[in-house]
Amino acid sequence: MVRLFDLKTGNRRNYKPQMAFYALGLMQQYDEDKCEVHEVYSRTQEANVYVFTRDEAEKIVNGVAGLKRDPGRKENPCEYCGWCARRADCGALLENAKEVLDENFDSEDMGKKLTAARRAADWASGVKRQAVAEAKDGSVPSGYALVSRTAGTKTIEYLMKKD
Domain ranges of the chain: 2-69, 81-161
134 contacts: CB under 8 Å, gap ≥ 6 = 140, 141
Tens of pLDDT, residues 63-121: 887 777 777 777 877 777 777 788 888 888 788 777 766 655 666 667 777 777 788 88
135 contacts: CB under 8 Å, gap ≥ 6 = 141, 144, 146, 157, 159
Tens of pLDDT, residues 8-45: 998 888 899 999 999 999 999 999 999 999 999 999 99
Q: Shortest CA distance to 110 belongs to which of 123, 120, 102, 100? A: 100
pTM of the model: 0.59
